[in-house]
């Protein structure tokens, strides 16, 4: 039998431990997936080939859950219900979060609905402890799920920038003990950014009433300082998220999944996977044309276009062939049929083709890859709707008024306008850290290569062993790619902005910040990201307080916690 799947020892071990059943081989696991997700024998054969060759890497939850006897959901992450500002509402949200994480799903929350610290509670004759205080309850719930031996929980906590507790929220994780099971992000409004630019006073409000008026520059400096030193909070440009949402006519988005690549409405769910770009590289050696020992490397655009429809069909089937932690989540998923296909191995693929990461050629390559993915996916989702029907809340007039839909190629818009769509959203770029490692350590998502070789700790039958893990391009093509510490902030932003242009959900991208970057340039990066139309931005500064501590810890003892985590020894981002 032909050898399929990972070849590196650590890649094989991680895939086996995380995604397969007892004594199940890689071949058998991919055969299981294809058998559970196909629509007929021809489709089964196609997606089996795609999965076996690792041209498309379904998200970890999909690989572990689909066709498996395990009672876990194939959806990676969810966003919580709207948390009502009452004891019952808060505890009901915590109960549903527990049910969601127990089935393997991460979850994001908007805590802006909870009243601010010191606000009067008329029915009790007392004062509220504030939105941030109740995050501790959800943090404990997540910790309980983790200690129960299930998948490590992952959570995102969001607070609007105009909430009166915003300063307390910004400072909430400036230690190594509190809210360890959370990522946190500030939902920044256009009104705030405009007040910041115009040096105008900004109101903090609750229930439509002004509670305080602040200097936006001082608040922005506090957010930036926290991010500079502690790598949190992240920033979500919440008005951009809603303005660009295909379903802005029927939903409002206030939070995202734990890694930020999926802005979702209450009870929303994300179904993810990544096309592995290195698997679309062809190498042609023709000694009559090319000097001996030289290779012509090209990207196989036809194979890429051919694979996308089969993956769209398979992921659409996941929605109907998995379990959901809550009936409300199932209803939400089936009414809108969101999927999130992205890419991984971008840095490796572009550099194998001779393009420097972040350079003009690589940006053009990314632009083309994402344009092909976007237009092919939307074209096929329209064709699939002829066979299976449009997603239930599809409204032709309102949907086609979306800025993103207007940005599709004319022929794609024409087909979508004629037939509608099976899926409301189709594109998302996730961190893809673990699945990329299981594909022989290809560069994650659209991130640069962290290092040409890293050390990883694995458990073997003989005990703990530290192994050397080479970068895919370096190991297979002897290509010494541009590592993350060599990538400038401008290059990071260019990659993020061009990717977001083609993504209907959002992009998980960490902008690494070197020690030579000035404080003013760092702050300006966030403003430029807003102006470039990005839906959010996260930065990583290895010399910051949190990661300075982590770097001093021996690799085997690193505590990833239960939120999304950047491993300082490898640069990989994971979300549990």
Q: What is the pTM of this model?
A: 0.92
pLDDT at 540 (0 to 100): 84
CA distances from 52 to 40, 58, 239, 246, 322 (A): 18, 11, 41, 33, 21
How does pLDDT run across 380-415, given as a tens digit for each residue?
999 999 999 999 999 999 999 999 999 999 999 999
Going by pLDDT thresholds of 50, 70 and 90, the confidence category of residue 205 is: very high
Task: Pick the range with the lowest mean pLDDT from 122-131, 261-270, 423-432.
Answer: 122-131
Of residues 178 and 115, more confidently modeled = 115
Of residues 359 and 292, more confidently modeled = 359
pLDDT at 561 (0 to 100): 40
Q: Answer yes or no: is pLDDT of 1 > 60.
A: no
pLDDT at 286 (0 to 100): 55
pLDDT at 466 (0 to 100): 84
Radius of gyration of the chain (CA): 23
- 261 in catalytic set: yes
Of residues 121 and 188, more confidently modeled = 188
pLDDT at 554 (0 to 100): 37
Buried b (16+ CB within 10 A) or exposed e, 317-353: bbbeebebbbeebbebbebbbbbbbbbbbbbbbbbbb
Number of helical (H) and strand (E) elements in the chain, helices listed first:
22, 23
Tokens of 407: 């940005």
pLDDT at 233 (0 to 100): 94
- 387 in catalytic set: no
Segment 252-276 mean pLDDT: 95
Taking alpha carbons only, the member of 506, 332, 316, 537 closest to residue 427 is 506
CB distance 72 to 64 below 8 Å: yes
pLDDT at 547 (0 to 100): 55
pLDDT at 132 (0 to 100): 95
- Kindly report the average pLDDT of the chain as a whole number: 90
CB distance 423 to 316 below 8 Å: yes
Active-site pick, 245, 257, 276, 375: 257
Tokens of 425: 């959203």
pLDDT at 549 (0 to 100): 36
Going by pLDDT thresholds of 50, 70 and 90, the confidence category of residue 107 is: very high
Going by pLDDT thresholds of 50, 70 and 90, the confidence category of residue 150 is: very low
How does pLDDT run across 214-246, given as a tens digit for each residue?
999 999 999 999 999 988 999 999 999 999 999
CB distance 532 to 497 below 8 Å: yes
Active-site pick, 259, 270, 534, 564: 259
How does pLDDT run across 459-499, given as a tens digit for each residue?
766 778 788 899 999 999 999 999 988 999 999 999 999 99
- Angle value at C-alpha 74, between 68 and 75, nearest 5 degrees: 170
Give the Cα separation of 385 and 500 in Å (integer): 25
Of residues 545 and 322, more confidently modeled = 322
Active-site pick, 251, 261, 332, 491: 261
- 257 in catalytic set: yes
pLDDT at 489 (0 to 100): 92
């Amino acid at each position: 039998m032909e050898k399929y799947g990972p070849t590196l020892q650590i890649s094989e071990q991680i895939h086996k431990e995380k995604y397969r059943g007892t004594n199940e081989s890689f071949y058998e696991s991919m055969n299981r997936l294809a058998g559970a997700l196909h629509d007929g024998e021809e489709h089964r054969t196609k997606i089996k080939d795609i999965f076996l060759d690792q041209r498309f890497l379904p998200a970890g939850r999909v690989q572990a859950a689909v066709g498996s006897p395990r009672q876990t959901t194939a959806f990676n992450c969810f966003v919580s219900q709207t948390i009502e500002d009452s004891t019952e509402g808060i505890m009901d949200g915590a109960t549903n979060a527990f049910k969601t994480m127990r089935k393997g799903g991460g979850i994001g929350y908007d805590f802006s609905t909870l009243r601010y610290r010191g606000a009067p509670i008329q029915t009790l004759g007392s004062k509220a402890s504030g939105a941030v205080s109740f995050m501790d309850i959800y943090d404990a719930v997540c910790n309980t799920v983790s200690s129960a031996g299930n998948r490590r929980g992952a959570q995102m906590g969001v607070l609007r920038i105009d909430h009166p507790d915003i300063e307390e929220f910004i400072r909430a994780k400036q230690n190594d003990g509190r809210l360890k099971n959370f990522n946190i992000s500030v939902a920044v409004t256009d009104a705030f950014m405009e007040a910041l630019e115009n040096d105008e006073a900004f109101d903090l409000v609750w229930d439509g009433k002004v509670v305080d008026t602040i200097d936006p520059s001082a608040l922005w400096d506090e957010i930036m300082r926290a991010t500079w030193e502690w790598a949190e909070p992240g920033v979500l440009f919440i008005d951009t998220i809603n303005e660009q949402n295909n379903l802005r006519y029927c939903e409002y988005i206030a939070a995202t999944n734990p890694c930020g690549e999926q802005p979702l409405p209450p009870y929303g769910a994300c179904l993810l996977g990544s096309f592995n770009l290195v698997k679309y590289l062809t190498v042609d050696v023709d000694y009559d044309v090319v000097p001996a020992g030289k290779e012509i490397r090209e990207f196989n655009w036809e194979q890429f276009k051919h694979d996308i429809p089969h993956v769209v069909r398979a992921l659409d089937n996941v929605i109907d062939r998995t379990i959901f932690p809550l009936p409300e989540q199932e209803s939400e998923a089936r009414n809108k049929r969101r999927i999130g296909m992205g890419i991984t191995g971008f840095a490796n693929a572009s550099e194998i083709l001779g393009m420097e990461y972040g350079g003009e050629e690589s940006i053009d390559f990314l632009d083309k890859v994402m344009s092909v993915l976007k237009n092919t996916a939307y074209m096929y989702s329209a064709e699939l709707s002829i066979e299976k029907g449009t997603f239930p809340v599809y409204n032709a007039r309102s949907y086609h008024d979306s800025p993103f839909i207007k940005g599709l190629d004319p022929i794609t818009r024409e087909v979508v306008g004629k037939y509608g769509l099976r899926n409301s959203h189709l594109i998302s770029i996730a961190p893809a850290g673990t699945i990329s490692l299981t594909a022989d350590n290809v560069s994650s998502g659209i991130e640069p290569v962290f290092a040409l070789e890293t050390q990883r700790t694995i458990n073997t039958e003989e005990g703990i062993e530290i192994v050397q893990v080479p970068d895919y391009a370096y190991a297979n093509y002897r290509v010494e790619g541009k590592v993350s510490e060599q990538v400038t902030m401008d290059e990071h932003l260019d990659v993020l902005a061009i990717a977001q242009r083609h993504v209907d959900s959002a992009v998980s991208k960490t902008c690494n910040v070197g020690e030579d970057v000035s404080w003013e340039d760092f702050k300006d990066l966030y403003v430029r990201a807003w102006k470039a139309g990005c839906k959010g931005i996260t930065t990583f500064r290895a010399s910051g307080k949190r990661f300075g501590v982590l770097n001093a810890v021996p690799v085997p003892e690193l505590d990833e916690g239960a939120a999304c985590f950047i491993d300082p020894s490898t640069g990989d981002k994971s979300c549990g």
